[in-house]
Amino acid sequence: MGTIIDLRSDTVTSPSKAMLEAMTSAATGDDVYGEDPTVNALEEYAAELTKKEKALFVTSGTQGNLTSILSHCGRGDEYIAGSDAHTYRYEAGGAAVLGSVQPQPVPFNSRGEIPLDLAQEAIKPLDHHFAKTKLLCLENTKAGKVLSLEYLSRARQFTKKTGLSLHLDGARAFNAAVKLDVPISEITRHVDSCSLCLSKGLGAPMGSVLVGDASLIESARKWRKMLGGGMRQAGIMAAAGLFALKNHVTDLSKDHEKAVLCWEGLRNLKTINLQGEPQTNMVVLQASAKILAELQRFLKEHGVLISSERLVFHRDVPIESSAYLVELFETFDASR
Ligand SMILES: *Cc1c(COP(=O)(O)O)cnc(C)c1O
CA distance 316 to 203: 9
Q: Does the beta carbon of 91 lie inside 6 Å of ligand 1?
A: no
Q: Does the beta carbon of 169 lie inside 6 Å of ligand 1?
A: yes
Residue nearest to atom 6 of ligand 1 (CA): 61
CA distance 45 to 233: 18
CA distance 144 to 281: 6
Query: Which atom of ligand 1 lies closest to the CA of 91?
Result: 8
CA distance 171 to 142: 9
| pTM, full prediction | 0.97
**What is the predicted pLDDT for the residue at 308?**
87
Q: Does the beta carbon of 38 lie inside 6 Å of ligand 1?
A: no
Q: Does the beta carbon of 86 lie inside 6 Å of ligand 1?
A: yes
The radius of gyration of the chain's CA atoms, rounded to the nearest angstrom, is 20
**What is the predicted pLDDT for the residue at 262?**
95
**Quick one: average pLDDT of 95-124?**
98
Residue nearest to atom 2 of ligand 1 (CA): 171
CA of 266 to the centre of ligand 1 (A): 27
In one-letter notation, the amino acid at residue 233 is: Q
Residue 107: Cβ within 10 Å count? 10
SS (H, E, C) the chain: CCCCEECCCHHHCCCCHHHHHHHHCCCCCCHHHCCCHHHHHHHHHHHHHHCCCEEEEECCHHHHHHHHHHHHCCCCEEEEEECCCHHHHCCCCHHHHHHCCEEEEECCCCCCCCCHHHHHHHCCCCCCCCCEEEEEEEECCECCECCCHHHHHHHHHHHHHHCCEEEEEECCHHHHHHHHCCCCHHHHCCCCEEEEECCCCCCCCCCEEEEECHHHHHHHHHHHHHCCCCCCCCHHHHHHHHHHHHHCCCCHHHHHHHHHHHHHHCCCCCCCEECCCCCCCEEEEECCHHHHHHHHHHHHHCCEECECCEEECCCCCCCCHHHHHHHHHHHHHHCC
Q: What is the mean pLDDT of the chain?
A: 97
Q: Does the beta carbon of 207 lie inside 6 Å of ligand 1?
A: no
Q: Which of 84, 139, 169, 174 to mutate to test the pocket of ligand 1 (most atoms within 8 A of CB)?
A: 169
CA of 65 to the centre of ligand 1 (A): 9
**What is the predicted pLDDT for the residue at 1?**
47
Convert the pLDDT of each residue in 134-171 to its tens digit.
Answer: 999 999 999 999 999 999 999 999 999 999 999 999 99
Q: Does the beta carbon of 56 lie inside 6 Å of ligand 1?
A: no
What is the set of domains in the chain, with CATH numbers? Answer: 17-247 (3.40.640.10), 251-334 (3.90.1150.10)
Q: Which of 11, 86, 194, 208 to mutate to test the pocket of ligand 1 (most atoms within 8 A of CB)?
A: 86
Q: Does the beta carbon of 77 lie inside 6 Å of ligand 1?
A: no
Q: Which of 182-186, 187-191, 321-325 is least confident?
A: 321-325
